[in-house]
Amino acid sequence: MNYVACPTALVNAPVNVAWMLLTDPQTWGDFFDVRIQNIDPPGLAAAGQVINAESGPRLLHLKVRMEYVEIDAVGYRLKLDVHLPLGIIVHEDLNCVPIDANHCRVNYHCAFDLPKGWRRMVARALLRRELVNGPADSLSRLKQFAERRHPQTAGEF
């Protein structure tokens, strides 16, 4: 592990709204910076499920492979391994904590494994901003989308 980011957000929406967004990879392109190519097997999140996608500018077609490693629907927790270009692997551990009937907290723990040697230097140079801001930006987009899906409580916190 070479870099860790742990943003958290209070979401003005019920925990099941945030959880559904995290466990329905087909909708991720609506709020994450990713274009879904295929999901195997199709459907809602399941351990071992693989999501192939692209990210970044459309002209580059940067391949991203994500795999659900663990799903705990009762505890609203999931783990993903994300394989990015240049040999970067991100171990993601997300959980949703209900606060009350209309609010939850989403915690997003990312551990970035950078490749060794020259690829490490290139990855750090190219992705420095993304390592620092990427997880918080992703969480912010998830929060905004969840709150738009549940407008009754928007702006309460």
Locus of tokens 């407008």? 151
Let me know the angle formed at the C-alpha of 103 by 100 and 104, rounded to the nearest 5 degrees: 95
Which superfamily does 3-151 belong to? START domain (3.30.530.20)
Residue spans per domain, the chain: 3-151
pTM: 0.87
The continuous run of DSSP H or E covering 66 comes out as: strand 62-72
Return per-residue pLDDT of the chain as tens, 157 residues.
Answer: 577 889 999 999 999 999 999 999 999 999 888 999 999 999 999 999 999 999 877 777 789 999 999 999 999 999 999 998 888 899 999 999 999 999 999 999 999 988 888 888 887 777 777 777 888 999 999 999 999 988 765 455 4
DSSP 133: H
Rounded-to-integer distance, Cα 54 and Cα 33, Å: 9
